[in-house]
Structure 1
C-alpha cells in the first residue's frame, strides 16, 4: 500500500489540489520522505519473507542463518541511513531479539540442526565445540536405545529360572549364574558403548573434513547419500533436519 501511494503520489496530490475541501489532506514533503524511508526498509524485508514463503520445504537448520541475515545485514545500520531509518532498524532489531529469547534447550536444538546441515556446519554457530559435544551426546543417546534393546533381547533369551521343585543346591547355582550373567552383560555394555563412542567420534571427524555443499543443495538428500559412511550421525540429522 505504501509503495503504491509513493508511485501514484503525483496523481493523488493533483486530485487533492483540485478541491479546496481536500487541501488539508495534501501530504507534506516531510511525510513523503518518511513514507519513502519506510518503504525502502520494509521492501528488503518483504522480498526476504516472500522468498521464504515461496519455499515448499524449509528445514529447521535454515532458521539461524536467516535470522542472522536479518539482524546483521538487513537491519544493520549503514553510514548513509537517516536518523529515522536508524531508529526504525534499532526498534525492529530489539523487537526481534525480544521475540527470540530462546531457552538453552531450544538454542541447543537450533545449533545442532544448523551444524548437521552440510550447507552450514559451523558457519553460524558461536560455540562450535559445545555444539559438537551436544551432537555427539545426541548420537550416543540414539545409539543407546539400540544397545539397550539388544541387551534386553539377550536377557530375554537367557535361561529362565527353574521350577519350585528344584533343589536348594540348584537354586544357589542359578543365583550365582545370574550374578555372573549380570557382570558379563555390564561388561558387554561398556565395551559396546566405548565402541559406539569411537564410531561417533570418527564420524564427526569425517563430517567436519568434508566440504560444505552449495546453498541450493538438499541437506536431506545429502545425508541419504552418506548414510553408509556416517550411520550414527545420519540418525541425528534425520531427527533435527525435519521439514517444518
Structure 2
C-alpha cells in the first residue's frame, strides 16, 4: 500500500490540492521521506512473507491432495451442524450424501445384528419375567380424531434415512457464538 502511495503521489497531491477542504492533506516532503524509509524497511519483510506463504500453500496442497483425506474431511464437515455441505465441492455433494446414507445403513444393520444376538443369548424365562404387565392406555389428542397418522414404518430403511438426511440439510446451520 505504501508502494502504491509513493507511485501515485503526484495524482494524489493534485486531487487533494484541488479541494480547499482536503488541501491540508497533501503530503509534504517530510511525509514522503518517512514513507520511503518505511517502504525500504518493510520490503525485505514483504519478500519473506511471500516466500513463506508460497511454501505454506505448497505444504497445504500436498497435505490435502490425498483423496482419502478429502473424503474424511468431507464426511466430518457433513456431520458437523455448523458446516454441513457448505465447504464441499458441488461435484462431490451427491457422492458424499450417498456415502453417508450407506454408512448409516451399515450402522443400523450392525445394531440390528447386535440386538438379535443379545436377544438370542437371553434365557427364555428371563424375557418373560422382565416384561411388565401392559400399562393402561391413556387417551391422546390423536385418538380423538380417529385417524391414524402416517408412520414411517411403511417406508424402507433407506427411505427413512434419506428423509432424515434431507430434513437435516433443510434445517438451518448452527451458528457459533463467539
The alignment's TM-score, normalised by the length of structure 2, stands at 0.50
Give the number of the structure with larger relative contact order, counting CA–CA contacts within 8 Å between residues 6 or more apart.
1
The alignment's TM-score, normalised by the length of structure 1, stands at 0.38
| Structure (1 or 2) with the larger CA radius of gyration | 2
